[in-house]
Homo-oligomer: A and B are copies of this chain.
């Protein structure tokens, strides 16, 4: 198997957390190629043989504008994408800033036929045990209605490639009534209804998470708020639960007996550990990790990329997009 190319310099805790996550993934049998400054990525004695380094002497800092990648082909994020484009890696992973990753991917990999701009897609657990495919989760803001319709097509193809038959598409809104929504939503709805996709109409976050649709489409600004509000609310609730449990002795005994359930619960509810979002619509598999990712989250993002690449999902996605 070709290695997963990992941008070692992108993310709040790069390169240390990225390297640590890559070592974990490599030990678990996934070949990984770290892309970055070779001075800061010297292979240590304990590194697994499945971990290699590809030099990239330039780095995009978190406070730079994404457009900066355009003139700098030797940045780690562009070299990461270039490895996939050259057939030297099976997928790319970066925890750097989303805008720079998007632009680097477009420059090095190009977009699929008929795709104007790639979208960031993330998968959330639904209350009915299904999965909610949310896009755009933060790659494009202030989108035209036509762009939202193309996100719906990408999302439908993604859901199909993941085994969802005839995915139901919802347009994120502040109410289920047609006359609700902002200008963007009201302008998009008729176009979406005319798209030939299985459109259920405007949906609210609550009903989407309860199972009203399989794919929820929105502007990247709004999608990012959706994702992070859900994440933040879960963190708050888990914190409250811990406090309540530790308050009394019966609670602590109960918690001891419950520890298995709580552990599984944490795993299922840990939105962050799901391993990053997929950039859909480029000619290659690109996983965008959380900017704040530590080693376990980096490892998960690499696992996500490897699974996607191994299963040939990109071909399936292309197939469903163009049929």
Contacts and interface: CB of A to CB of B under 8 A. Distances in A.
The listed residue with most B CB atoms (<10 A of its CB), out of A127, A142, A219, A236, is A236
A245 B265 CA distance: 9
A207 B154 CA distance: 30
A251 B225 CA distance: 35
A51 interface: no
A235 B209 contact: yes
A258 B258 contact: yes
Contact of A229 (B125, B179, B226, B265): B226
Q: How large is the interface on A (under 10, 10 to 19, 20 to 34, 35 or more residues)?
A: 35 or more
A129 to B, nearest CB: 9
A210 interface: yes
Contacts of A177: 62-63
Contacts of A126: 236
Contacts of A240: 125, 265, 268-269
Contact of A257 (B124, B179, B253, B262): B253
A208 B232 contact: yes
Contact of A206 (B174, B219, B231): B231
Given A174-B138, A220-B174, A261-B244, A229 B255 contact: no
Q: Is the interface of A mostly helix, strand, loop or mixed?
A: helix
Contact of A222 (B125, B221, B233): B221
Interface in A50-72: 62-63, 65
A241 interface: yes
A304 interface: no
A255 to B, nearest CB: 7
Given A237-B238, A248-B260, A174 B254 contact: no
A125 B97 CA distance: 29
A265 B239 CA distance: 10
A265 B241 contact: yes
A255 B255 CA distance: 8
B222 A209 contact: no
A251 B125 CA distance: 22
Contact of A127 (B235, B261, B264): B235
Contact of A261 (B62, B228, B245): B245
B253 A172 contact: no
A63 B264 CA distance: 43
Contact of A125 (B181, B236, B254, B271): B236
Interface of A: 62-63, 65, 97, 124-127, 138, 141-142, 172-175, 177, 179, 181-183, 185, 204-210, 218-222, 224-241, 244-245, 247-248, 250-251, 253-262, 264-265, 268-269, 271
6 contacts: A141-B174, A141-B182, A172-B225, A182-B219, A225-B229, A230-B230
Given A141-B174, A240-B269, A248-B261, 11 more contacts: A142-B183, A209-B233, A209-B235, A210-B232, A222-B222, A225-B225, A234-B237, A240-B265, A241-B269, A244-B262, A253-B254
